Structure 1
Amino acid sequence: MPETTIPELPQELWRAGKLELAHGVTHLLQVMRVALAGMGKYLAEVESRGTEDLFGYGSAASWLADVARISRGDAQDMVNRALALNPAPSVGGAGAVFAPATAAAADDGAIGEQHIDLILDILRKIPSDVPMDERDGVEKILADLARNAGPKEIAEVGADLLAHLDPDGNEPKDPEPKPPRREVFVERRKDGFWKLSGLLDPETGARTAAALDAFGAKRPVDEFGQADHRTMPQRRGDAWADLLDLAIACPDQPGTSGYRTLVHVTVGLDALKTGLGTACLDFVGRITAREARLAACDCLMIPVVLGAAGEPLDVGRMKRFVTPAQRRALNVRDGGCAFPGCHRAPKHCHAHHIRHWADGGPTDLRNLVLLCSFHHRLIHHGDWQVRMAPDGIPEFVPPQYLDPLQVPRRNTLHRVAT
């Protein structure tokens, strides 16, 4: 191993010229690499004598992790390099070195850990039936190349050499590729919210992220100057709800057959009319009666009559509130969310009853309007009002704090100018 000394740093490094700076970096880099190679010899010796007998540790890696205050994984990598570049213990003395040419380059300080790991990885991929002289020739080519080349060149040359030694490659173990790994966990919390987590394969994950980003884009500033202040997680949560609506609304979707929501109403009719009280949505947990009113606008409804003790006395027939034909007519008339300034397309909208069915409102076109999920909730829970104008087009009355005169407004974004 060549002797190396650490050069003295100038007291005022800012005065150094570019050649001095370059020389200092390259020299210290060589010193570091030589020091690592020297430490590898010590580690190989510790491993050969037995770490438990020497220091009471089960392995050299665990001992080194404590001594160097590094992770167990990094320590194991250092020990593995040391064992590959130094003689293995054998009966009667030192044995052969797994990668002697690579070890010589490391002793000279010409290559570092990244070069060494690449070369060792390539050597371990050489088939066992390749003659030893050919294997040694490959290692010498890679070690000599690494003295003046970067990792990319080593990897490319190594791949070419492996292809030459084994043109047919490894025999496939599986006749067919394994299915992608996908896991989704849905857990209901004590507070009624649901926790969603999982693991997706790269392709499905990329498609999911793209869909959430597309559906979770910020809403444009509306004509009232109101901006979208939702955080990214909040926008993605709303996007997830929109994607579920799209999936459930598909006619071929199993279970719901294209119906947006299936609601089992377990709330008294008076509570449903007033919006006061609680309801049970599809037997998954309690919601407010106001939420039940919102869900019932565009869904299948199964009324459940409960007795005084809460026992089911009668389960009514399933009723469809908005027919497919009415939905198509709404799509043509409103062209999307009818709320002023909203760009959402029909496929992202619910059919809202202007006069709720629980209040005696009919399910016909003059009592229906398309609203996206955000504006649907705004109409149910906010101070905006919607009504049907004499010409059969829905219009919206803003609250007094936005417009003291409460002038009705329409969405003109979906209509072609005439």
Structure 2
Amino acid sequence: MSETLIPELPQELWRAGKLELAHGVTHLVQVMRVASAALGKYLAEIETRGAEDLYGHGSAASWFAEIARFSPSDARETVNRALALNPVPEVGGAVTVFAPATAAAAEDGAIGDQHIDLILEILRKIPTDLPAGEREGADKILADLARHAGPKEIAQAGADLLAHLDPDGNEPRDPDPAPPRREVFVERRKDGFWKLSGLLDPETGARTAAILDAYGAKRPVDEFGQADHRTMPQRYGDAWADVLDLAAACPDQPGTSGYRTLVHVTVGLDALKTGLGTACLDFVGKITAREARLMACDCLMIPVALSAAGEPLDVGRMRRFVTPGQRRALNIRDGGCAFPGCHRAPKHCHAHHIQHWADGGPTDLRNLVLLCSYHHRLIHHGDWTVRIAGDGLPEFVPPQYLDPLRHPRRNVLHRVVT
């Protein structure tokens, strides 16, 4: 079976290009999913006939655990998944499938065990006193979504469906109180980096640790296979930057009026347009010209233009790129980070220019999209592209190695499933 399902690997894999590597991975993922669905058919049939009569075991799960060298709990999960996706006789002679739409998606290799388990968990929460058609409809909605979405989008869609079918639920938790006064010391080092230290009372320290833990949590592996390899100090550093972004975007923050960071960028005009070269940030240290392009999307900037010899030719006036009114409109339209599968709220997002202002892009809603810092950097540095569709909403075109046909995708987490 392995010789017919698994393609022959190149003898020298290190010579493969990025498209060849990506196509190999996506093909093998589909092969694994199709094989898992086929295995489920066998296990469901064994459970239906009776593992005791066939093999002398009390259940298909105990027999499967023995031959596959699985733990009993893992074997039971596999068999239960198989029974939910395949025809099983019921009392009275009827043969039914618990989640037929999910089963069809699994047979196509479009979804894997993680998607299936999440959908089944949601379907089992639907009240049993509702008509059977309600569960079938929910199964189809979630299975169709899972073909091109990740676990977070499925979970959000499931929560919306359950809220619609069963409005009774847990009340939202009260918001955290404002943090008390804290004492910190900030010192700039000779290399341009800043050293942060301080002494916090027990309550303030506990709250600080909780905030850093929350904003510094590892990002889960998304549907595109992107893992989070940051160390804990790096995640805490990024969390601190997120907290500063929240403070800078507050309308009551002195000196910002709801805008994001004010920066002085000293950079040659050609470097700013191409993203090649370096720039000086706030006369303190160097950053790349590409980083300057990223920062210029959503901040107050004072450009300092240089001649080829490095002579300052002009110090521009502060230019407002995204007004508070435009920002509010973006928050309403996008609902948060618009990248497919991202759950970050508007307060954690930057306003990204789809066509950069240095390239003549206007600052209006049809050229702006909300992105969290992680996906903002991905758009600037990666192979994804973003555009505004005909209905005025943003959509993202994946790289060819992820989708050879490059079908556009949208984030459905911020919208109610209907």
Tell me the TM-score range normalised by the shorter chain.
0.5 to 0.7
Letter of the 1:274 partner, please give it. T
Q: Which residue of 2 aligns with 1:327?
A: 327
Counterpart in 1 of 2:357? 357
Deviation track 1:309-343 (CA, whole Å, cap 9, x = no partner) reads 53433221111000111100100110000001000
The corresponding residue for 1:393 is 393
Letter in 2 for 1:268: G
Q: Does the CA-based 8 Å contact 2:245-2:260 persist in structure 1?
A: yes
> Match of 1:269?
269
Instruction: Give yes or no for the alignment of 1:187 onto 2:178.
Output: no
| Counterpart residue number, 2:248 | 248
Shift of 1:304: 1.6
Contact 2:279/2:289, CA 8 A, preserved across alignment: yes
Equivalent position SS for 1:287: strand
- Equivalent residue number for residue 201 of structure 2: 201
Specify which structure has the bigger relative contact order, considering alpha-carbon pairs within 8 angstroms and separated by 6 or more residues. Answer: 2
The residue number in structure 2 matching 1:49 is: none
**1:369 matched to 2:369:** yes
Give the Å deviation of 1:284. 2.0
Q: Secondary structure at the match of 2:392?
A: coil
Cα distance change of structure 1 residues 232 and 245 upon mapping to structure 2, 3 Å threshold: same
Considering only CA atoms, is the larger Rg found in Structure 1 or Structure 2? Answer: 1
TM-superposed CA distance for 1:307, in Å, is: 4.4
Partner SS state of residue 186, structure 1 = strand
TM-aligned CA distance change 1:181 to 1:368, over 3 Å: closer
Whichever residue aligns with residue 381 of structure 2, its letter is H
Measure how far apart 1:184 and its partner are: 1.9
- 1:408–1:257 Cα change, 3 Å: same
CA deviation string 1:132-154 (max 9, x = no partner): xxxxxxxxxxxxxxxxxxxxxxx
Q: Distance in 2 between matches of 1:407 and 1:189?
A: 49
Contact 1:189 1:195 (8 Å CA) reproduced: no
- Aligned mates of 1:181, 1:407 — CA distance in 2: 49
Cα separation, partners in 2 of 1:397 and 1:184, compared to 1, 3 Å: same
Distance (whole Å) between structure 1 residues aligned to residue 269 and residue 217 of structure 2: 38
Conserved? CA contact 1:398–1:408, under 8 Å: yes
CA RMSD of aligned residues (A): 2.0
Aligned twin of 1:214: 214
Report deviation, 1:283: 1.9
Structure 2 residue runs of 5 or longer lacking an equivalent are: 1-179
Contact 2:259-2:324 at 8 Å conserved across structures: no
- Name the SS of the counterpart of 1:297 in structure 2: coil
**3-state SS of 2:338 partner:** coil
Q: What percentage of residue pairs aligned between the two structures are identical?
A: 87
Which letter does structure 1 place at the counterpart of 2:257?
S
Count of residues paired in the alignment:
239
Give the aligned residue type for 2:259.
Y
Q: 1:180 to 1:343 in 2, by over 3 A?
A: closer
Deviation of 1:368 (Å): 0.3
1: CA distance, partners of 2:184 / 2:346 = 32
Per-residue deviation, 1:186: 2.9
Please, what TM-score do these two structures have when normalized by structure 1?
A: 0.54
Deviation digits for residues 26-71 of structure 1 (CA, Å, limit 9, x no counterpart): xxxxxxxxxxxxxxxxxxxxxxxxxxxxxxxxxxxxxxxxxxxxxx
Give the Cα separation in 2 of the matches to 1:389 and 1:253: 35
Distance across 1 between alignment mates of 2:385 and 2:231: 27
Aligned pair in 2 of structure 1 residues 189, 400: CA closer, same or farther (>3 Å)? farther
Aligned 8 A contact 1:249 1:259 in 2: yes
Q: Verify the 8 A CA contact 1:304 1:314 in the aligned structure 2.
A: yes
1:354-376 Cα offsets, whole Å, 9 max, x none, are 00000110100010000000000
Shift of 1:277: 1.1
Query: Is residue 262–residue 282 contact of structure 1 (8 Å, CA) maintained in 2?
Result: no
Q: Are the counterparts in 1 of residues 269 and 306 from structure 2 also a CA contact under 8 Å?
A: no
CA drift of 1:265 comes to 2.5
Does the Cα contact within 8 Å between 1:262 and 1:301 map onto a contact in 2?
yes
In structure 2, what residue type is equivalent to 1:231?
T
1:219/1:227 contact within 8 Å kept: yes
CA distance in 2 between partners of 1:226 and 1:303 (Å): 35
Which residues of structure 1 form unaligned runs of 5+? 1-178
One-letter amino acid of the structure 1 residue matched with residue 271 of structure 2: A
- Matched with 1:234 is 234
Give the counterpart letter for 2:187 in structure 1.
V
Instruction: Write the mapping of 1:11-410 to structure 2, written as runs, cut at 5 A.
Output: 182-190=183-191, 192-307=192-307, 309-410=309-410
Judge conservation of contact 2:275–2:289 (CA < 8 Å) in 1. yes
- Output the amino acid matched with 1:280: C
SS of match in other structure, 2:325: helix
CA distance in 1, matches of 2:206, 2:254: 25
Give 1:285 deviation, angstroms.
1.2
Shift of 1:181: 8.0
Between the aligned partners of 1:247 and 1:369, the Cα distance in structure 2 is: 21
Whole-angstrom distance in 2 between the partners of 1:293 and 1:319: 15
Deviation at 1:189, TM superposition (A): 4.7
